[in-house]
Amino acid sequence: MTTREEQKNQTRSKILKCAFEVFSKNGFAAPTLDIAKAAGVSHGTIFVHFSTKEDLIIQLVRNFSFKLRSTIIVPLSSPKGIENFLINYMDVIQKNEQFYIRLIGEKDLLPDEARLMFLNLQLSNARSFATIVKLQRNSMKLKNIPSTMMFNTWIGLVHYYLLNKDLFSPKGSVIKKYRDELISTYLELIRVQD
C-alpha cells in the first residue's frame, strides 16, 4: 500500500470513528459538518469518502454489525449456555451503549440498507439464541415457549431499558446498572419451578 493510500485510509477511519461518536451523542440527525469538525477534516472531505450522508451511515452500521457479530460468543454446549450468552450479550452492548441506543431508537432515520443490516444482526442473534436454548433444554427445565418468543422477550426487556435510559439511569450506563437484575429476572421467568 502506498503512502497516499495509507493516508486516505487513515482519513476515512478518522471520519468513521468521529461519526460514530457524534451520532452516538447527538443522534443521526446530527449535521455532517459536526462530524467534519470532530474529525479535523474539511466538510467536503466527508463526501470524498462517502457519496452521501446515508452512505456514511451505512458503512458505520456495517462496521458496527460486523464488530458485534464477531464479539458475540455463542457458547454452544455449556451447561450455563443461556446465562453465559446473556452476560456476554450485555457486555457487548454496554461497550457501545450510546450508539446501540441510537440504532434502535432512530431506526426510521436510517437508510434502508443500514436498517436491514442491523435487522439481520438481530435475526442472527435470535437464531444463535434459539440454538442455545434447544441445547439447554436438556440440562435445565425451561418454560414450554417457542424459542423465538424467548428471545423476543429478552431483547424486548433489554431494549425497553435502553430506550428509557433517561428514566432508568440518566447518568451512567443502563446496562451496567441493571445487567444482573435483568438477567436474573429473565432466567427466573423462563425456568420451570419445581
Quick one: 60 or 90, whose CB is closer to DNA?
60
Q: Buried b / exposed e across 114-138, counting CB within 10 Å, b at 16+?
A: bbebbeebbeebbebbeebbebbee
- List the one residue out of 140, 145, 136 whose CA is nearest residue 193: 140
- Name residue, grid cell 472531505: 45
Q: What does the alpha-carbon distance between residue 39 and residue 158 come to, in Å, rounded to a whole number?
A: 32
Binding of residue 21 to DNA (CB under 7 A): no
**Contacted entry of DNA, a copy of itself, none for residue 53, CB cut-off 5 to 8 Å set by kind:** DNA
Query: In whole angstroms, how close is the CB of 108 to DNA at the nearest point?
Result: 15
Quick one: 12 or 102, whose CB is closer to DNA?
12
- List the one residue out of 143, 28, 162 whose CA is nearest residue 89: 162
Query: In whole angstroms, how close is the CB of 17 to DNA at the nearest point?
Result: 13
**Contacted entry of a copy of itself, DNA, none for residue 156, CB cut-off 5 to 8 Å set by kind:** a copy of itself
Cell of 88: 456476554
Query: In whole angstroms, how close is the CB of 61 to DNA at the nearest point?
Result: 16
142 φ, ψ to 5°? -115, 150
Site residues for DNA, window 34-93 (CB under 7 A)?
41-49, 51-54
Binding of residue 7 to DNA (CB under 7 A): yes
**Contacted entry of a copy of itself, DNA, none for residue 52, CB cut-off 5 to 8 Å set by kind:** DNA
